[in-house]
Structures are given as C-alpha cells and as structure tokens.
A and B are shown apart, each in its own frame.
Chain A
Amino acid sequence: MTDMFTKAAWIIPLLPLAAFLLLTAAGRSFRSLGPIAGSAASLASFALALLVLLERLQDGAVDYNNSFDWISIGSYTLGIGFEVTNLTTLMLVVVSFVSLLINVYSAGYMKNDERINVYYGYVSLFVFAMLGLVLSDNLLALYIFWELVGVCSFLLIGFWYTKPAARAAAKKAFIVTRIGDAGLLLGIILLFWYMPDHALDFTMIESVFEGGTGAIAAGITTVIALLIFLGAAGKSGQFPLHVWLPDAMEGPTPISALIHAATMVAAGVFLIARTFDIFQASPAAMDTVAYIGGFTALFAATIALAQHDIKRILAYSTVSQLGYMMMALGLGSLTGGVFHLMTHAFFKALLFLGAGCVIHAAHTQDIRKMGGLGSRMKLTAWTFAAGALALSGIPPLAGFWSKDAILAAALEANPLLFAAGLAAAFCTALYMTRLFVLVFLGEPRFELAAASKVREMPPAMTMPLLTLAVMTVVSGFAETPWNGWLSGWLGDEAETHAGWAAMLASVAASLLGLYAGWAVYRKGALQGGAAVKERVPGLVALLERQYYIDELYAAVAVKPVRAVGTALSAIDRYAVGGLVKLAGAGAGWAGRLLTRLQNGQAQGYGLAAVIGLIVLLLAMLGRRFLT
C-alpha cells in the first residue's frame, strides 16, 4: 500500500499522451476541447505526481524501478522502463505543476487562436515527453524522450508558422540543440562501448562510477562526461550554444514559460544530475562544467542589461540562471543545482506569464514603449514584483535561498567563480529593476489610443500568476543553511552550513543592483538609459547586439554550410538532372528518327524490304561460311 502510487507512476506520462491523441483526432472542430482536454490531463498527472511525492516523503521509501525488455539483439537486451527516485519525483511534481498552470493560462491567452487544438495537442505531447524523460531508467530511453522534447519545442516555437521569424527561430533552435544532441549520442555510444554488459541504466552507471573511476579509465570517463555535458549545454543554452534561446521567444508566451524557462531547459541540468556519478569521477569535467556555467551566468546577465524586448530580457535571464545551475553542479553541489532548478521554474514561469499579460494588454513587446502599467494592472504588477525580487535574490523569497546555496558552494571551492556569481547577481538585480521600472512605473509611453484598453487580464490568466507567486515565496524554505532537508532527501551530503559570508555578500550585491537600477531608470524616465548610452556607446552597442555572436556564427558556420548545400543542389539539378534529361531526350530523338521511316511512301517500305532480304541472305551465307 505504501508504494501503490509509486508502482503506478508510469501512468503519469501517458495521460497527456492520451490528451494529445484525442486532440489530434479532434482536428479543428470542438474548439473548446483543447483547453479542457489539456488541462484535465495535466491536472490528473499533477494529482498522481503529488500522491507519489507523498509516498516518497514517508520514511523508508525505497527507490523503485521497473522495466520490460524491448529489443533483444544477440546477447544484449535493451529495456525501457521507469524509475522513481526522490530526484525524479521532485521533477515530476515541478513539471506537472507548471504544465497545469500553463494549460490554464493558455486557455485565456490563446483564446482567439484558430489552431488552439493543435496548440494544446503539442503542449500535451511535450508534457508527455518531458515526464517520460524524467522517469526514464536508462540513458537510451532518456535520449528518445530528449529528442521528442526537442521536436515539440521546434513545433511550438514555430507555432505561428506564417511568420518568417518564427520559422527561422524554430529551425535555429532545432539545429543548435542538434549539435548538443550529437554530443550526447556520442557520449551514450561511448558509454555503451565501455560499460560492463553494455548496460545503460542509471543504477548500473551509479554502481560502476561510484567512488571514482574503477572499471573505466579516467580519460574515457572525462570524454564521456564532456560529451554528455555538450548535450546538456545545447538543451540548457550554455555558451556557446545559447544562441537559440533568445530567438525561441518567437513562440507564444505560455510556451516560453513552460518550455524555455521551467522544464525543457532544465532537462540539461536534470541529465547531469542523473549521471552525476560520471562527472564526480572526472574532476576535469567538473571544472569545465563549473567554468562554463559561471561564464554563461555573467555573460548572459550583461547582455540582458541592454535588451529592449521584454521576452528577450527574460530569455537571457534564463540563460544566466541556467549558468548558475551548471556552476553549482560543476562545483559538486547537486542540491544547489536542483534546488535552484525548482525555484527558478516557479519564479521564471511567473515572470513569463506576467510578461504575457503585459504584452496582451499593451500590444507591444518593447519596454521602451510601455510604462505606467502598474496602476491599471495591480495583480500582475504585484506578482511580477514578487518574481523579480525572487530572481534578484532578495530574502526571504525562494530565489535567495537557492542562489545562496550555490554561492556558498562556490565560496568554498573556487573564489573566482564566487566573484563571477556575485557580479552576475548584481547584473541580475540591475536589469530586473530596469525592466520593472520601465514597464510598470512612471508615465505611460505607449500610444494613447491603446491606453484605455489596458486593464487586468481575465481570471484564467491571473490565477496561475497568484499560484506561482505563492510557490515563489514558500518553496525557498525547502533548503536553508540551517536545515538542509532537501539535500538529505536528494541523497547529497547534507550541507548545513552557517555561511554568513556568502549570504551577506549575495544580499549586498542584489541590493546594490536594485539601487543602481532605481537610480538610473528612476520613475520611468528614459533619460537614464540615454545617459548611459552617451557615456559608453561602444559597450552598450556590444551588449545590445549580444556580443555579435549571431553574426559570428552566421559568417563562420552558416555561410559555408549553405554554400556547400547550394553547390550540392546545383550538382543535383544540373549533373544528375541533366543526365536524366539527356536520357529522356535520347529516347525522344531515337523515336523521332524512327518516325521518319514511316512516311507513308511505299517505295521506302520496299527499300526496307530489300535491305532486309539482303541482310537475311548475308546471314545465311555467313552461316555457311562459319560452320
């Protein structure tokens, strides 16, 4: 009885799958079926996930896994199954909770869209894939769901496919994450090669790599770990594969909240957490992860300072926070990474949904054209403020506790990364303040005709905001420096430390950033921004153009590949096509030649008969000669 729901956990992904199939069958009719089916499925999944969580919270809960043999090739059997550990349970709850809220929110946001059933179908498919990814018990099954998640992301980013920008963004997302996925696949293959019995399930990986490299050489372990990190970097938008995330904002805002803030981009962090034993066995890989994570955190935070699109600012913020998570994992703190993943899911989803309300109200995404929305959209403004404060790391909100866990680990292990984390926290507070001030405070700067239409959004869109705000406040207390409950539950070393230095430093950095933002952008005046631009125009341009990385990639990678593609296409069209046309023309030419023989003139036919006769006689004569 105590693990009845744990045993039934495999049902959890299948409910959204059923919703997807139902919505695909429904097509364009029954427009109200979309929200109902999607929300019902995710509600059911969430309820089941909560029940599983309650079971796992009991003492003496044992990890459970179950699989069935899928393919047998020779002596190797590939199984597919699910595994319920504390980590996977936590992810189950987070994913199903956020997806439930997104389903409800989308009912209001996508109300007037014609393809709403398609949208809900894709969302349900995505939830199925993400939940399957979370529950997978071996790397190959995880990889299958990983790819499926990428496909759903592609479909959803390009949901409004009539916009060329959306199509381009979807392609970019898929191609850039593909580079990461190729790395992951190579890592899996190497692992398959070297693991005893070619086993790929996580329990085997844990037992082989626990306590340092035993069965597998150190060099190979590092390579495997780095390849897996490449896959994670692609999905989680680490430098240099971060370029797809800001462009992915072309998709609908609820999608940005669900996929590109809370769940899919967290899949990379989850992957590293699942295969953490491989990383811990290779110090070089850990260092790489930590440094790239730290660099990305600071790098993306600086870019966000100079962006004008509200969703892009939030996208770069996501990249930066993912960098924090990677940094935590690289420093050896599994708890730090996963805890920040959980809190970030809540407050980033909150921020995106709030941004969606703002965009819906003001009909623009440019923050320079907004202002003074706070007085008309009180609920949105308050919840957005809660999210922004959490993101900046102000106590007692969730973001503070999780960021503190990361910075404490950094201070212990690597002061350079601690400094980078601190600087990124300062920038985070700065740009969030800038965003909040420019959007919600001050005088309205948008066209006056739209001003009267600005009002609070319908309950379908505001209820999720409230729920997430509550979670933002509450969820931080799962792991405080004085009571490391989460770390114990996840199986990490219980990190109880009264590290005042880290806490004080992070609070100081955040407050400094808040103040700086207030001072410069005070009360909605754009002169602050203009003044900064005057002083350091070069720096601002660099940040605004995202360090010109997109242009660099276009010149170095995109152009040559496209040139090769054009050349090959030319070969196909002219050489191969030319040959085909030649064959056709040859047949036609031969036919036309033979037509001339049939010109209706009896004398021609007679000549043909005579020539035939001569040939026959010669043949008979020849036979007499040869035999």
Chain B
Amino acid sequence: MLPSYLTMAAILFCIGLYGALAKRNAVIVLLSLELMLNAVNLNLVAFSKYGAVPSLTGHIFSIFTITVAAAEAAVAVAVLIALFRARGTAQTDEFNQLRG
C-alpha cells in the first residue's frame, strides 16, 4: 500500500506546484503552497506506518509541520495585506520590483 500513498502525495505535490507557479492571485498561491506542505505530511505519515522502521516519529514530525505551516500562512497573509495596502493590487505579476 505504500506506493499508492506515495503516488497520491506526489499527485498532490505536483498539483500544488502548478498552482504555486501559474496562479496570479497571491492568496491562491499561498493556498497551493499549503497543498504542497500537506502532500509532504501525507508522505511522512505513510512512511511512519509502512516504512523501514515504523515509529511515531513521522506523526510528531507532521504535527510540527502543520504548526509551522499554519504560522507561516498567518504571516504570509499579513504580508499580503500590507502589500495590498501599499500597491493596491494582489496580482502577482504586478510585483516586479526585482526585475533586472
């Protein structure tokens, strides 16, 4: 059963990657990032049950990941709100100050 879980996680990860790269609304980009992180969590938990050394480490690790992801999501939304106030837009292709 392990490969199916891993494949599932891979599918989710790639969909999340596409969303992070190709979506123009910044909130959706954040959402796709969360999707990617969730895929990783699925991997961790699957390995913790079916892996070489089954233990609870995977569970703990995934709890940590969820925590950090939530904190990051909060800070990211705050940044987005600040950016929106400064620039008046939330479209990612308007933010091109780094252009060289």
Known: A601-B92, A601-B93. A610 touches B17 (CB 8 A): yes
B48 to chain A, nearest CB (A): 26
- Whether a CB of chain A sits under 8 angstroms from the CB of B4 is no
Is there a chain A Cβ closer than 8 Å to B95's Cβ? Answer: yes
Binary interface encoding of chain A residues 47-88 relative to chain B, with 1 for a CB under 8 A from any of its CBs, else 0: 000000000000000000000000000000000000000000
Are A598 and B99 in contact, with the CB atoms below 8 A?
A: yes
Contact B96 A610, beta carbon cutoff 8 Å: no
8 Å CB contact of B96 from A601, A606, A607: A601
- Docked complex: A373-422 residues within 8 A CB-CB of B: none
Query: A602 contacts the other chain (Cβ, under 8 Å)?
Result: yes
> By CB atoms of chain A within 10 A, which of B21, B22, B100 has the most?
B21
CB pair A603–B21 under 8 Å, yes or no, is yes
Known A607-B21, A610-B17, A610-B21; judge A602-B92 contact (CB<8 A): yes
Residue from B17, B20, B21, B96 within 8 A of A599 (CB atoms): B96
Contacts of A601 in B (CB 8 A): 92-93, 95-96, 98-99
Contact residues, B41-100 vs A (CB, 8 A): 92-93, 95-100
Say how far A358's CB is from chain B's closest CB, in angstroms: 80
A-B contact count (CB 8 A): 30
**From residue A611, how far is it (CB to closest CB) to chain B in Å?**
10
Task: List B contacts of A598 (CB < 8 A).
Answer: 99-100
Question: Beyond A601-B92, A601-B93, is A606–B21 a contact (Cβ under 8 Å)?
Answer: yes
**A600-B17 in contact (CB<8A):** no
Tell me, rounded to whole Å, the shortest Cβ–Cβ distance linking B25 to chain A.
Answer: 12
Which chain A residues (573-612) contact chain B, with CB distance < 8 Å? 598-603, 606-607, 610
**Once bound together, how far apart are the Cα atoms of A332 and B35, in whole Å?**
114
List A contacts of B92 (CB < 8 A). 601-603
Min CB distance, A345 to chain B, in Å? 80
Contact status A600-B96, CB under 8 Å: yes
B21 partner residues in chain A, CB cutoff 8 A? 603, 606-607, 610
Q: B98–A600 contact, CB under 8 A?
A: yes
Contact of A600 with B100 in the complex, beta carbons under 8 Å: yes
Decide if A599 touches B95 in the complex (CB within 8 Å): no
CB–CB A599/B22 < 8 A: no
Q: Which chain B residues (5-25) contact chain A, with CB distance < 8 Å?
A: 17, 20-22
Measured between alpha carbons, how far is A599 from B95 in the docked complex, in Å?
Answer: 10
* Smallest beta-carbon distance B26→chain A, Å: 10
Q: Which residue of A lies closest to B96 (CB)?
A: A600
Give the dominant DSSP class at A's interface.
helix
Find the A residue at minimum CB distance from B20.
A606
Report the bound CA distance from A598 to B100 in whole Å.
Answer: 6
Chain A residues near B93 (CB, 8 Å)?
Answer: 601, 603
Please state if A602 and B95 are interface contacts (CB–CB under 8 Å): yes
| CA–CA, A599 and B100, complex, Å | 7
In the complex, what residues of A have CB within 8 A of residue B22's CB?
A: 603
- Chain B residue, CB-CB nearest to A609: B21
Which of chain A's residues have a CB closer than 8 A to the CB of B99? 598-601
B-contacting residues, A168-186, CB 8 Å: none
> Please, how many angstroms separate the alpha-carbon atoms of A9 and B6 in the complex?
108
- CA A602 – CA B93 in complex, angstroms? 9
Q: How many whole Å from A606's CB to the nearest CB in chain B?
A: 5
Chain A residues within 8 Å of B20, by CB: 603, 606
With the chains together, A602 CA to B29 CA distance in Å?
11
Instruction: Give the distance to chain B from A609, nearest Cβ to Cβ, in Å.
Output: 10
Question: What separation, in Å, do the CA atoms of A610 and B20 have in the docked complex?
Answer: 11
The residue on B at minimum CB distance from A595 is B100
Q: How far is the CB of B79 from chain A (nearest CB, A)?
A: 13
Complexed CA–CA distance, A601 and B21 (Å) = 10
**Nearest Cβ in chain A — how far from B73, in angstroms?**
17
Chain B residue, CB-CB nearest to A598? B100
Contacts of A600 in B (CB 8 A): 95-100
A603 to B92, CA, bound (A): 8
Q: A610 to chain B: which residues have CB within 8 Å?
A: 17, 21
A248 to B30, CA, bound (A): 90
Closest to B97 in A: A600
A598 to B98, CA, bound (A): 8
Instruction: Please give the distance in Å from B82's CB to the nearest CB on chain A.
Output: 16
Q: How far is the CB of A593 from chain B (nearest CB, A)?
A: 15
State the CA gap A499–B98 with chains docked (Å). Answer: 108
B89 to chain A, nearest CB (A): 13
Q: Can you name the residue of chain A whose Cβ is closest to the Cβ of B100?
A: A598
| Minimum CB distance partner of B24 in chain A | A603
A601, B100: Cα distance in complex, Å: 10
Complex alpha-carbon distance, A138 and B53, angstroms:
105
Contacts of A599 in B (CB 8 A): 96, 99
Q: Which of B22, B97, B99 is the most central at the interface, judged by chain A CB atoms within 10 Å of its CB?
A: B99
Could you say which of A598, A599, A601, A610 has the most chain B C-beta atoms within 10 Å of its C-beta? A601
| CB neighbours of B97 from chain A (8 A) | 600
> Separation in Å of the B91 CB from the closest CB of chain A?
10
Could you tell me the distance between the alpha carbons of A607 and B17 in the complex, rounded to whole angstroms?
A: 9
Min distance, Cβ B16 to any Cβ of chain A, angstroms: 12
Q: Which residue in chain B gives the minimum CB-CB distance to A608? A: B21
Q: List 27 A-B contacts (CB under 8 A).
A: A598-B99, A598-B100, A600-B96, A600-B97, A600-B98, A600-B99, A600-B100, A601-B92, A601-B93, A601-B95, A601-B96, A601-B98, A601-B99, A602-B92, A602-B95, A602-B98, A603-B20, A603-B21, A603-B22, A603-B29, A603-B92, A603-B93, A606-B20, A606-B21, A607-B21, A610-B17, A610-B21
The interface of chain A, by Cβ under 8 A from chain B, is: 598-603, 606-607, 610
9 new A-B contacts at CB < 8 Å, known A602-B98, A603-B21? A600-B98, A600-B99, A601-B93, A601-B96, A602-B92, A603-B20, A603-B93, A606-B20, A607-B21
The 3 A-B residue pairs whose C-beta atoms are closest, nearest first, are A600-B99, A600-B96, A600-B98
